[in-house]
């Protein structure tokens, strides 16, 4: 048996022991920490792959296919995904009461990591959202299906795939892609890392000190100026 395999077996035995003795999480974490030190185990580095992005031409084709589909709510959903870089799991939970149309902000209640935060959207998009709400005055959620319930993440994924096919795009397109697209765009518009992290909701220990001196108000002007140059087609 190789040395690495022997160490892995020890770890497996520790897991079985912890289950049998019903160790608490803290006790189990302590045992694992000590075992790693004793065995000189190192955590494998996580590999990060750069996301595939659509070209400007592909992005235009995609949103043209959305407009040609004639489903206004679908168009608003997908534009909001792009403009706000919101996670799709957060998008489907947005309620009408979370919107502040005057301030062009959306409150995200208990987003990823159980963190509350705000999203920004373009000032011109406030008119679109206002019209959407006027057309659906009884909505609880910002976006609701014909059965008057919130969309599921799976349904949003299906909608994106349908428009990908309609646009004739061969590469994979998924809701999270629009988050990557927007954050990449804002990076190209020279927003700072700290500003983008605040807009995206990314948590980084390295940026905590910066966050203490940076508010959403300080980012809003740069965001609004940048998004005016975002072209999703006619």
- C-alpha R_g of the chain: 22
- pLDDT tens-digit readout, 186-224: 888 888 887 888 888 765 544 434 444 556 777 889 999
Q: Is the pLDDT assigned to residue 47 strictly greater than 70?
A: no
pLDDT recorded at residue 100: 94
Per-domain residue ranges of the chain:
3-39, 56-227
pLDDT interval class at 233 (50, 70, 90): confident
Q: Which region among 12-16, 69-73, 76-80, 181-185 has the lowest average model confidence (pLDDT)?
A: 12-16
Pairing label, strands 105-111, 99-100:
antiparallel
- pLDDT tens-digit readout, 131-154: 999 999 999 999 999 888 999 999
Q: What is the mean pLDDT of the chain?
A: 82
Who wins on pLDDT, 62 or 40? 62
Q: Which helix (DSSP H) or strand (DSSP E) does residue 118 occupy?
A: strand 115-120
pLDDT recorded at residue 205: 41
Fold of 56-227: hpI Integrase; Chain A (1.10.443)
Residue whose structure tokens are 């160790």: 23
70's tokens:
């004639």
| Burial of residue 160 (number of CB atoms within 10 Å: 0-12, 13-18, 19+) | buried
């Amino acid at each position: 048996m190789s040395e690495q395999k022997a160490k892995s077996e020890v770890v497996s035995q520790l897991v079985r022991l912890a289950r049998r003795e019903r160790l608490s999480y803290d006790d189990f974490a302590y045992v694992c920490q000590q075992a790693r030190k004793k065995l000189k185990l190192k955590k494998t580095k996580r590999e990060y792959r750069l996301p595939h992005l659509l070209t400007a031409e592909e992005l235009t084709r995609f949103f043209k296919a959305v407009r040609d589909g004639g489903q206004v709510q679908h168009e608003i959903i997908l534009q909001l995904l792009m403009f706000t870089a919101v996670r799709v799991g957060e998008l489907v939970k947005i309620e009408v009461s979370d919107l502040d149309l005057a301030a062009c902000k959306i409150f995200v209640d208990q987003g990823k990591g159980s963190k509350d935060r705000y999203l920004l959207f373009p000032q011109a998009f406030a008119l679109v959202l206002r019209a959407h709400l006027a057309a659906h005055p009884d909505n609880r959620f910002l976006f609701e299906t014909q059965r008057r319930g919130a969309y599921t993440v799976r349904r949003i994924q299906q909608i994106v795939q349908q428009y990908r096919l309609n646009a004739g795009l061969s590469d994979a397109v998924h809701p999270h892609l629009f988050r990557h697209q927007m954050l990449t765009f804002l990076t190209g518009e020279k927003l700072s890392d700290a500003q983008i992290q605040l807009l995206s909701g990314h948590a980084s220990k390295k940026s905590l000190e910066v966050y203490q001196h940076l508010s959403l108000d300080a980012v809003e002007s740069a965001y609004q100026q940048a998004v005016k140059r975002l072209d999703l087609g006619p």
